[in-house]
Structure 1
Amino acid sequence: MGSLERGVLTGFICRLCSDMHRVVLHIYGDEGIRMCISEKINRHLSINVSVPSDPLPKTICKTCLEKLESQHRLVMRIEQAAIMVKRQCHNRVGLRRDCYVSRYDNDSNVPPKPPAPK
């Protein structure tokens, strides 16, 4: 995670939790851009912050920033693991088409059915 001291603003509303915080990071400030905050929000959350001119807050609090960074690390780890498993599967079975890796909703605890053989 980046340094809050380098991109800090005081007394603003967090874009994510909507609470007023004394210390926040500006999403489009130098540190926010360096940390790719808007890209991470757009990728991992169901909101869009890609328009700097919209009327919504442009800041994120420390708590939400830490949660966003944690989510980002988790997704990166999952994607890397999926690539590695798929590579190992292909190495073991050649280029079989019945080997696949997919993501699914953990709430359902039911993986998707494999694709039908061709």
Structure 2
Amino acid sequence: MAHELKRTAVLLLLSMLLCLSGCGGTPFSSEDWIAADQAGRQEMARSLMKEYDLVGWTEADVLRLLGPETSADPNFTYSLFGYDTEDTLVYALGAVNYARVRMLVITLDADRIVTKAELIDHDM
């Protein structure tokens, strides 16, 4: 009986540690996001996506939450990745590895309402 209780306690502890290890990243905060660099935003991105369902939001609401869309180079065009800059907000989140970049891509309809928000990795 005591052996089984120990075993159960160990399994419970291991399960909790496994759950906590899967909860990595930095919690999202609008103020921190707006002030963060790309790497900081990448750390918050999953938390943002879990916490907020942006579908149905207006473009103005998204911009209040996240600030203006970003780019490392003001001359950079997201059309290189197949995004129409007229109906898409793109937040660059930096490199995932040496050959891939991550972006938060928010698609808007003609009324400037969010129809899709997703984290996408692109080959460079």
Measured against the shorter chain, the TM-score band is under 0.3
Give the number of the structure whose residues are more often strand, by fraction: 2
**TM-score, scaled to structure 1:** 0.27
**TM-score, scaled to structure 2:** 0.26
